[in-house]
Homo-oligomer: A and B are copies of this chain.
């Protein structure tokens, strides 16, 4: 049997609500020093642990947020989950992870709603059709209007990047993300719409590979990829199947490491996934706390920067072990 407030109260010889007060109002709960001590002693003697469930029921919030994530076998997803876990726990929230198969976010979202979440965080690259009402849902780098998201501010970086990418350039991006829109807009600004093409990458490894192969067959002068995995695949493919094809490469680097030294890379657009996640998590916490009190204005997009491969900054980025940032 579980030890409850009443057990503690009985042992201390007081009413159980007094114990409750002692627990919650520790500072300003004014009572005899003597009773305070008696309660304290009983508390320790019985090793009392408040029932978080009863508290949740009473207080109307569970201090739990859900995370919709792709498989943790993917290091990118794992990195995000790991960080979210830390941030939320630092702020007194527990994190419940709901894995979503393929892109079936709605099922995961629903399963979380059945569990009385205070809020839901949707990992990068995922998008839902409809949002279950009831608690704030926070996406990240998701420009679709379905849920609130902190996005990447890419315009300036892309303008600079396009200057060093000659000829026809194909952009390979995951969906949803800020990249598609920003890339097309940058193409417009630079007057190279005819040269710029955008393709969506699939989450599944094999399909992704196929798409990259298609691009190689197309032989654009430049390729702009999203993430280090895509870049690796691309280079493997070029080595094995297109040994005489050497496009100009630019990638979205949310990581550091010596692999950035690979030939053909003319630069990166750098952004820290950790920052993005952090800002997003904190904003979700804000939204949870201000529930009903007032709307929390969405945070500004996260700045990124273009780093050409012949710069000092780039050398620093390269001179480390591989790690997601």
Interface of A toward B, CB cutoff 8 Å: 2, 49-54, 56-57, 62, 71-73, 75, 78-79, 81-82, 85-86, 89, 94-99, 111, 113-116, 134, 324
**Bound CA span A65–B54, Å:** 18
Given contacts A51-B116, A54-B57, A113-B49, contact A96 B99 (CB under 8 A): no
Please indicate the chain B residues that have their CB under 8 angstroms from the CB of A86 in the complex: 99
Across-interface contacts of A73 in B (CB, < 8 A)? 75, 78-79, 82, 324
- Judging by beta carbons under 8 Å apart, are A82 and B99 in contact? yes
Please name all residues of chain B whose beta carbon is closer than 8 Å to the beta carbon of A49 when the two chains form the complex.
113-114, 134
A114 and B52 contact, CB distance less than 8 A: yes
Residues of chain B contacted by A111 (CB below 8 angstroms):
89
Collect the chain B residues with CB atoms within 8 Å of residue A97's CB: 85, 95, 97
Interchain CB contact (< 8 A) of A53 among B98, B113, B116: B116
- Measured between beta carbons, the chain B residues less than 8 angstroms from A94 are 96, 115
Report the Cα distance A50→B115, complex, angstroms.
9
Contact (Cβ within 8 A) A85 B114: no
- Complex interface: chain B residues within 8 A of A53 (CB): 53, 56-57, 62, 116
- How far does the alpha carbon of A78 sit from the alpha carbon of B82 in the complex, in Å? 9
Say which residue of B71, B99, B115 sits within 8 Å of A52 (CB atoms).
B115
Question: What are 8 inter-chain pairs, A to B, with CB distance below 8 A?
Answer: A2-B134, A53-B53, A72-B82, A82-B99, A85-B97, A89-B98, A89-B99, A96-B96
Residue of B nearest to A115 (CB): B52
When A52-B115, A114-B52 are in contact, do A81 and B89 touch as well, CB less than 8 Å? no
- Give Cα A52–Cα B96 distance, bound, in whole angstroms: 14
Give chain B residues whose Cβ lies under 8 Å from the Cβ of A113: 49
Known: A49-B113, A57-B53. A82 touches B71 (CB 8 A): yes
A52 surroundings in chain B (CB, below 8 A):
114-116
Given contacts A50-B114, A51-B116, A53-B57, 16 further A-B contacts (CB under 8 A): A49-B114, A49-B134, A52-B115, A53-B53, A53-B56, A54-B57, A71-B82, A72-B72, A72-B81, A72-B82, A72-B85, A73-B82, A85-B99, A94-B115, A95-B97, A96-B96
Q: Provide the bound-state CA to CA distance between A114 and B55, in Å.
A: 11
Q: Which residue in B57, B78, B114, B116 is a CB contact (below 8 Å) of A72?
A: B78
Q: Which residues of B contact A79 (CB under 8 A)?
A: 72-73
Taking a contact as CB atoms closer than 8 A, the residue among B57, B78, B96, B134 that contacts A95 in the complex is: B96
Query: Which of A71, A94, A113 gathers the greatest number of chain B CB atoms within 10 Å?
Result: A94
Chain B residues with CB under 8 A of A96: 94-96
Question: Separation in Å of the A255 CB from the closest CB of chain B?
Answer: 12
Residues of B within 8 A of A98 (CB): 89
Task: Give the docked Cα–Cα distance between A113 and B54 (Å).
Answer: 14
Q: How far is the CB of A322 from chain B (nearest CB, A)?
A: 12
